[in-house]
Amino acid sequence: MKKMEHKECMSALLPVRDTLDIIGGKWKILILISIWEGNKHFREIERSIPKLSTKVLSKELKDMEENQLITRTVLNGFPVRTEYRPTEYSKTLQKVILELQHWGANHRKKIFGREY
Amino acid sequence: MKKMEHKECMSALLPVRDTLDIIGGKWKILILISIWEGNKHFREIERSIPKLSTKVLSKELKDMEENQLITRTVLNGFPVRTEYRPTEYSKTLQKVILELQHWGANHRKKIFGREY
DNA sequence: CCGCATCCGAGTGGATACTG
DNA sequence: CAGTATCCACTCGGATGCGG
């Protein structure tokens, strides 16, 4: 990558922040991965991620639906069941996440001199 | 990218979180860019980023030094001056940031139907 | 089962003043 | 100039209970 110029930096800023809003934080990527793996129902997702509370999960799922990373479908019947599914679009994040993963793995090696 | 397998996901998790710890949050990338642009001194960096308080800047710079993204040099003389400089290593983040930028820009187009 | 409402403690971060 | 210290408002998120 070439040296970043000033103007590029400033115009880079908003998109970078947007992306971090969407996948940043403690839970978003975990939830996305859980859903990619095939977990569909609220409790199912909740149980797949230790320490995640219903309040937070509820909020995160709402955010992710707004951002078109997942779809939410309420099934008829009682008790109510809801299905969350990843969108095709959500997969465009995999490249980004992979990049984060590579950098993080390499960084840990550098800082701690060992892997996980 | 191929479908992520379960084990890959789990081993992806820690590195991704590490990376987000390091560049996530409201300020880290802004500070890094400011320093990449050539700002060297505490006040200089502070003034280059609106709404950034000294307390937060202080903490962030400390974190970034620990993570070897910047170096901190105290110059002799009075009043004391300090120089922060980006490391070569910090530039390995540019690819990651570029990826975040691309995804964010494209996402905004998708969601809002327009650019910035 | 799904998910919201409430209460509440801990941590974050802003403003300001102060020291070396 | 470079940062620390203090005070304080606010947010975040955990625990729990409830209603649909």
> What is the residue range of B69's domain?
29-112
CA distance, residue B78 to nearest chain A CA (Å): 32
Q: Is residue A101 included in any domain, yes or no?
A: yes
Q: Is residue A22 included in any domain, yes or no?
A: no
* In contact, A57 and A48? CB cutoff 8 Å: no
Q: Is residue B24 included in any domain, yes or no?
A: no
B49: CATH: 1.10.10.10
Across B6-28, average pLDDT = 81
Q: Which residue has the tokens 């909020």?
A: A59
Q: Which two tokens stand for residue A55?
A: 């309040």
Torsion angles phi and psi, residue B12, rounded to 5: -80, -25
**What per-residue confidence (pLDDT) applies to A35?**
95
pLDDT under 70 in chain A at which residues?
Answer: 1-10, 114-116
**What per-residue confidence (pLDDT) applies to B9?**
57
**What per-residue confidence (pLDDT) applies to A2?**
45
pLDDT > 70? residue B10 = no
Across B80-107, average pLDDT = 95
Average pLDDT score over chain A: 88
Q: Is residue B98 included in any domain, yes or no?
A: yes
Closest-CA residue to A107 (of B67, B42, B3): B67
Cβ < 7 Å from nucleic strand D: A 25-26, 51-56, 79-80; B 41-44, 54-55, 58, 61, 72, 74, 79-82
